[in-house]
Amino acid sequence: MSVSEPIPVTAIILTFNEATNIERCLLALDRFADIVVVDSGSTDGTCERAVRVRPRVRIFSHPFIDFGDQRNWAMENTAPRYPWILFVDADEFMEEPLASEIGRFARDPGTFVGAFIAGRNYFLGRWLRRTTLFPSYQLRLALKGHVTYRAEGHGQREETPGPLHYLEASWRHEPLSKGIPQWIDRHNRYSTDEVALIVRLRQEPLRGGELFSRDPIVRRRTAKRLAARMPLRPLARFLYTYVLRLGFLDGMPGLYYCLLRLSHDIHIAVKVAYRERAEGPVPAASATPTSPMPRPPG
C-alpha cells in the first residue's frame, strides 16, 4: 500500500484540555481518511487548534463518565465513515510502520473484529522499554458493531466474542507530556478509581496456569489478580519492574518513573486500607488451577 494512499479507518481522539498535544497528534494521523474528536469540555482551545490543523476534522462534545462509556458513545454517535475505528489518545502519536500495518489489516482483516496495539512510553526523552513493561497491549482498533467497552479501574476493558489480532508495530506515547503536576493530579484521581478494581480482583478466582499463557492479555490480567492479593504490593511492583525486569537499564528516567509509580501504588494501598477499615476486609477467592490458554491467532 502506497504511503500516500488514505487509510480507510475512522480515527477517534478523546480529548480534555489537550492543547499541548492535539496538533501533533492530528498531524501524525494525516493518512487516516476520517478523523473525529470527542471532547469532554476543554477550556484551553483544544477544539480550535484541532480545526486549525485539520479543517475537516469532525468535533463532537460529550461529558466524560469513564473511558468505556466515552468510547461506546463515540462509536454510536459520531457516524464513523468506515467500519474500522481506531481509538487514539491525544498524547499518542502515530508512526509510519503502525499506520501502514493498520491500513493493510483494515483492508484484509480476515475473521478478526479487533486488534491490540502496544504503546512505547517516553519520559524525559527516553523510551522506558523495561520500566513500563513493554509491550502492554490495549484493544484500540475495533470493528463497529462487534466490540464494546466497559469501565475497568481508571481505564476500560473490551467486550467481544470475536477473534482478536495483535499488531506488531507500535506508536509513541508520552504520558507526562503535560508536566509532572498534571500527571500527579490525574493519577490521584486514578488511584481512587483503582480501589474498586482491587476489591473486585480479590474476589475473582486466581487461575495460576494463566500466568504462563501464550496470550499476553491473559497473562497481564492474571498478574493483576495476583498483585491485588499481595501484601506490600507497592514495594513488590517496584522491585519487579526496577530489578527483575531490569528497569535500571532505562537510566535515570526509568528510576524517576518507577518512583512515581511507587507513590501512585502507595496511594492505592492506603485508600484500599481506608475503605477496608470503614467497610471491613473483602475475602479473597481461592486459586483455581487451569491449563494455559492459547494466544489468539495472529
Asked whether 58 and 33 are in contact (CB, 8 A), the reply is no
Judge whether residue 2 has pLDDT over 90: no
The mean predicted confidence, pLDDT, of the chain is 91
The model carries a pTM of 0.86
Share of the chain above pLDDT 90, in %: 73
Q: Residue 1: which pLDDT band, with cuts at 50, 70 and 90? A: low
Q: Does residue 149 lie within any of the structural domains? A: yes
Give the C-alpha separation, 81 to 34, whole Å: 7
Between residues 101 and 210, the one the model is more confident about: 101
Q: Find where cell 503502525 sits.
A: 98
Summarised one tens digit per residue, pLDDT across range 19-37 is: 999 999 999 999 999 999 9
Q: Does residue 263 lie within any of the structural domains? A: yes
Same domain membership, residue 153 and residue 56: yes
Q: Does residue 289 lie within any of the structural domains? A: no
Asked whether 40 and 15 are in contact (CB, 8 A), the reply is yes
Same domain membership, residue 196 and residue 144: no
Domain boundary among 156, 173, 190: 173
Same domain membership, residue 86 and residue 51: yes
Q: Does residue 28 lie within any of the structural domains? A: yes
pLDDT value at position 211? 82
Same domain membership, residue 221 and residue 139: no
Judge whether residue 39 has pLDDT over 80: yes
pLDDT value at position 284? 56
pLDDT value at position 41? 97
pLDDT value at position 283? 58
Q: Does residue 86 lie within any of the structural domains? A: yes
Q: What is the mean pLDDT of residues 195-221?
A: 84
Question: What CATH number is given to the structural domain containing 11?
Answer: 3.90.550.10
Same domain membership, residue 193 and residue 147: no
Judge whether residue 185 has pLDDT over 60: yes
Q: Does residue 93 lie within any of the structural domains? A: yes
Q: What is the mean pLDDT of residues 275-297?
A: 54
Q: Does residue 189 lie within any of the structural domains? A: yes
Judge whether residue 110 has pLDDT over 90: yes
Q: How many domains does the chain have?
A: 2
Judge whether residue 218 has pLDDT over 60: yes
Q: What is the mean pLDDT of residues 162-174?
A: 97
